[in-house]
Amino acid sequence: MNGKRKVIESYLRRLRLALGTLPVEERQEICRELESHLDERAGESDTALQSCLAELGEPETYARAFHDDYELSVALASGSTARLFAQSLRLAGRSIWAAAGFLFFLSLFAISGGLMAVAMIKPFFPQQVGLWLPTSGGFIFGFVDTTSIAGVQEIMGWWFIPVALVSGFVLWILASRLLEKFVASLRKPRDDG
């Protein structure tokens, strides 16, 4: 029993360390509950504790499930776009779905930020910022090289500023809402098959 006790204590010590970023109270609860579980399993038979520890895996790996869920719930509760975005980046390395989502939101925020940025530099470069519809087709939008718009009339004038600002802002809000839904969808129980 003494040997088992040592094994349990060493596992719990490593787990406690691995759970480092969780609030103290939560860390203690998790360890105390697992200690109770391990003790009970150790009392069953000589091999029960070994097979239990094998199922749990390394404490560092086991801790990750608690850690992930905690980080996600904090980000979701805060409603902070930056935190949610950071979570999708963190999980992007773990699954293709999270990585695809991260890239999608990265482009949405980039477009939205870009819209608001060009709106704000329009007063300083009125000739180079705007919307052009060349006769050759398509459109040229944003902050451009004047040679590419030679002979073409800008069509928005000063309306460019409110239109770009509002659409950038609306896109930002939409992307933030969507990001929240996406991060919530990442919050799934770990599946070890």
Partner 1 sequence: MNLDVWKAQLRKGAAELAVLALLESRESYGLAILRVLIDQRGLAISEGTIYPLLNRLRREGKIDSRWVEDEGASHPRKYYFLTDEGRWLLAAMKTVWGDLSSNLNALIAGENHER
Distances, alpha carbon 101 to alpha carbons 82, 104, 133, in Å? 15, 5, 33
> Would you say 43 or 157 has its CB closer to partner 1?
43
By CB under 8 A, is residue 186 in contact with partner 1? no
Instruction: Give the shortest CB-108-to-partner 1 separation in angstroms.
Output: 26
Q: Which of 13, 29, 94, 185 binds partner 1 (CB under 8 A)?
A: 29
* Separation of alpha carbons 1 and 9, rounded Å: 12
Cα 11 to Cα 20, 63, 65, 135, 180: the distances in Å are 14, 11, 16, 72, 35
**Could you say whether residue 191 binds partner 1 (CB under 8 A)?**
yes
Which of 9, 17, 55, 157 binds partner 1 (CB under 8 A)? It is 55
Q: Which H helix or E strand runs over 129?
A: strand 129-132
Q: 5: how many CB neighbours lie within 10 A of its CB?
A: 12
CB 63 to partner 1: min, Å: 10
User: How many residues bind to partner 1 according to rule CB under 8 A?
Assistant: 29
CA–CA separation, 163 and 169 (whole Å): 10
Q: Applying CB under 8 A, does 154 fall inside the site for partner 1?
A: no
CB atoms within 10 A of CB 101: 21
* Shortest distance, position 64 Cβ to partner 1, whole Å: 9
CA angle centred on 116, ends 114 and 119, rounded to 5°: 105
3-state helix, strand, coil in the chain (%, to 5): 70, 5, 25
φ, ψ of residue 34 to 5 degrees: the values are -70, -35
Segment lying near partner 1 (by CB under 8 A), choices 51-59, 78-86, 130-138, 175-183: 51-59
Binding segment for partner 1 among 67-75, 140-148, 152-160, 169-177 (CB under 8 A)?
67-75
Q: How far is the CB of 23 from partner 1 (least distance, A)?
A: 12
Q: Least distance in Å: CB of 183 to partner 1?
A: 14
Footprint of partner 1 (CB under 8 A): 29-30, 32-37, 39-41, 43, 52, 55-57, 62, 65-66, 69-70, 73, 187-193
